[in-house]
Amino acid sequence: MVDLDLEKFFDRVNHDGLMARVAARLSDKRVLRLIRAFLKAGVMEDGLVSPVDEGTPQGGPLSPLLSNLVLDDLDKELERRGHRFCRYADDANIYVRSRRAGERVMASVSRFLTSKLRLKVNETKSAVAQPEERKFLGFSISDDGSERRIAPKALNKFKAQIRDMTRRTRGISLPQIIEDLAPYLLGWRGYFGFCQTPRVLTNLEAWIRRRLRLYLWRQWQNGPNRFKVLQRRGVPKFHAAVAAGSPTRLWRMSGHPALQQALRNSYFDGLGLPRLYVSAHA
């Protein structure tokens, strides 16, 4: 796989070349003037606006569309050469049969981008490698192309966000925690639910519930109170006493059978905690 990343793409798009591409598709001069003004608006830093002669504003609503007008030439060139590829904005993967072929494609495509589009490949972020070794839009692909996986970096970012949202210092109720979590989980599922590794999603669900059990265990504060809550939630007296008096560290305790019995999966479902894995037959 040839994994291409364009260096400072949104900062370096040539305005005249971009406007020529827009004008080839659009005849309304008022709209053309508006787009030119958008490109020339400048960047504010420390309260001062600096004029710009190239690039499109990162995060601007028109930038992704305008970037595709520029890189449409790259798509057509790759199609002309018969390559199999996938591109999103300034990230592109080209799939080849061997490392040697990949190195040839990397060199020739880099020359095309520099000479025809005045763009430069970011050599530190680009590489020729096995698909499993690289990530694309948060995903990685198995070497034989049979499985679409969530990239480790995306998983680590997700877990860091959940840890932050369930940290012990928040001091709010569990329903409020879940209300805060729900939009993030639903959005994440809407994107990464596309993966072909359901076990990863179900393991993440279990990990989130364990984080929430840990959150409640801390809120219950001490042995006597924990004993009362466990009993109230249906844990037999002996098992509740053993769990409440346990010196086990908090994280290990969050996986204790008594705590799992008191706070079953259905309990979190009832509070509106979204599932990450939704079966196609559900």
Between CA 31 and CA 34, with CA 33 as vertex, the angle to 5 degrees is 60
State the Cα–Cα distance between residues 180 and 173, nearest whole angstrom.
11
The answer to whether the CB of 73 falls within 8 A of the CB of 117 is yes
Structure confidence by residue, pLDDT tens digits, 88-130: 888 899 999 999 999 999 999 999 999 988 888 999 999 999 9
How is residue 88 annotated by DSSP? E
Count how many Cα atoms sit within 13 Å of the Cα of residue 170 in the half-sphere of its side chain: 19
Band the pLDDT of 15: cuts 50, 70, 90: confident
254: pLDDT strictly greater than 90: yes
Band the pLDDT of 57: cuts 50, 70, 90: low
Using a pLDDT cut of 90, give the percent of the chain over it. 62
Structure confidence by residue, pLDDT tens digits, 81-90: 999 999 988 8
Q: Look at 241 and 48; give whichever has higher pLDDT.
A: 241
Alpha helices in 193-256 (DSSP H): 198-219, 223-232, 237-244, 250-253
- Residue positions counted in the chain: 282
Structure confidence by residue, pLDDT tens digits, 198-237: 999 999 999 999 999 999 999 998 999 999 999 999 999 9
3-state helix, strand, coil in the chain (%, to 5): 55, 10, 30
Q: Given this model, what pLDDT does residue 263 score?
A: 96
Average pLDDT over residues 52-75: 78
DSSP assignment of 23-84: HHH---HHHHHHHHHHHHS-EEETTEEEP-SB---TT-TTHHHHHHHHHHHHHHHHHHTT-E
141: pLDDT strictly greater than 60: yes
48: pLDDT strictly greater than 90: no
Q: Given this model, what pLDDT does residue 157 score?
A: 96
**Residue at 154: amino acid letter:** A
Mean pLDDT of the chain: 89
Q: Given this model, what pLDDT does residue 53 score?
A: 64
40: pLDDT strictly greater than 70: yes
Q: Supply 177's token pair.
A: 């925690």
How is residue 150 annotated by DSSP? E
Structure confidence by residue, pLDDT tens digits, 186-209: 999 999 998 999 999 999 999 999
269: pLDDT strictly greater than 90: yes
Between CA 102 and CA 107, with CA 104 as vertex, the angle to 5 degrees is 105
Closest C-alpha among 36, 8, 6 to residue 20: 36
**Which regions of 96-252 does DSSP assign to beta strands (E)?**
127-128, 139-141, 148-150
Q: Given this model, what pLDDT does residue 261 score?
A: 96
